[in-house]
């Protein structure tokens, strides 16, 4: 048999955030574009928008250990 047949295990961490309007405490129907721009400046491609405009996701890359996934 050629190669290692054991699967290599990986870990990734994802956090989902719902954006809330400060005044109404409802989900933000139209969050400002600057918010996502600021998040991208700080986190790069670790932050993405979701299907719902009021939701964003922040994630680690695929890692080979928990230590690798820690910021």
Instruction: Write the pLDDT tens digit of every residue in 39-70.
Output: 999 999 999 888 888 999 999 988 888 888 77
User: Could you give the CA distance from residue 57 to residue 65 in angstroms, rounded to a whole number?
Assistant: 21
Mean pLDDT of the chain: 86
Task: Report percent pLDDT > 90 for the chain.
Answer: 41
DSSP state of 3: S
User: Could you give the CA distance from residue 13 to residue 62 in angstroms, rounded to a whole number?
Assistant: 8
């Amino acid at each position: 048999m050629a190669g290692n047949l054991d699967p290599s295990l990986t870990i990734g961490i994802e956090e989902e955030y719902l954006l809330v309007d400060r005044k109404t405490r409802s989900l933000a129907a139209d969050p400002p574009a600057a918010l996502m721009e600021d998040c991208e400046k700080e986190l790069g491609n670790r932050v993405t928008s979701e299907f719902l405009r009021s939701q964003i996701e922040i994630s680690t890359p695929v890692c080979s250990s928990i230590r690798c996934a820690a910021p």
